[in-house]
A = this chain, B = another copy of it.
Amino acid sequence: MHLQKYEKIPRATIARLAVYVQELEVMEQQGIKVISSEKLAWSCGVNPSQIRKDLAYFGEFGVRGVGYYVYELREAIKQSLGLDRTWNVVMVGVGNLGRALLRHQLLRKRGFVIVAAFDCDPFKIGEEIAGIEVQCSSKLPQSTIDMGVEIGIITTPPERAQRAANYLIEGGIKGIVNFAPSRITAPENVVVEYVDFIHNLFSVAFNITQHQIKGLL
């Protein structure tokens, strides 16, 4: 298998690859062994060329005239994305959302292991959720250094997100996923990703309105 071409890979490609992995897993469970780009595209809601193109950034994984072997393709994609390993993750802010994420099974299944959780609320410190004991945020930087944690999840209120980020950065973290609806600043070498599903609600609301307007025309 050839190495990843040195070419910038579109963000959108990464997101789609994640979807492909998802759907391939479902197919695997259904006992499907081989799949064509066309069928996979169909179930992922994208164009077949798109799939082939996305995969081409990383190598050749298919067999012409046949398609892709489901298991192999899934493994190949995971490897391409750097997911053929586990990533240690810490969480800052154990509120409603933080708890839900701590209890979420799929994270571990996908290779993201939450190894520690931090909060600044004395009432929450010491509590155990899904086998993780909540610790005082002040311990964060040292802990992440000690445990070699690479990814931090922020689930504090928005006005505390920057502070949480600072702790993480101090702790030598390499990437942050921020669930709080606020922008944070971090050094260049720290990867920051924002999650905000209000966007999706906005989008749905907007599209419903548009549909209705179009309906009137």
A32 interfacial by beta-carbon distance below 8 Å:
no
This chain: copies in complex = 2
- Chain A contributes a number of interface residues (CB within 8 A of B) equal to 58
Pick the contact of A209: B82, B103, B104, B106 (CB < 8 A).
Answer: B82
Q: Are the CB atoms of B151 and A201 closer together than 8 Å?
A: yes
Q: Are the CB atoms of B193 and A200 closer together than 8 Å?
A: yes
Q: Scoring A residues 12 to 29 as 1 if CB is less than 8 Å from chain B, else 0, what string do you get?
A: 001101110011001000
- CA separation between A174 and B195, bound complex, in Å? 24
19 A–B pairs (Cβ distance < 8 Å), ordered by A: A11-B203, A14-B206, A15-B202, A15-B203, A19-B196, A23-B183, A45-B183, A81-B206, A96-B99, A97-B100, A106-B198, A107-B198, A110-B202, A150-B208, A151-B201, A151-B208, A174-B211, A176-B204, A177-B200
Q: Which residues of A contact B (CB under 8 A)?
A: 11, 14-15, 17-19, 22-23, 26, 43-45, 81-83, 87, 89, 96-97, 99-100, 103-104, 106-107, 110-112, 150-151, 174-177, 179, 181-183, 189, 191, 193-209, 211
Further 13 A-B residue pairs, CB within 8 A, beyond A18-B198, A45-B183, A110-B201: A17-B202, A19-B196, A22-B182, A43-B183, A81-B202, A89-B201, A97-B104, A106-B181, A151-B205, A151-B208, A191-B211, A193-B200, A195-B200
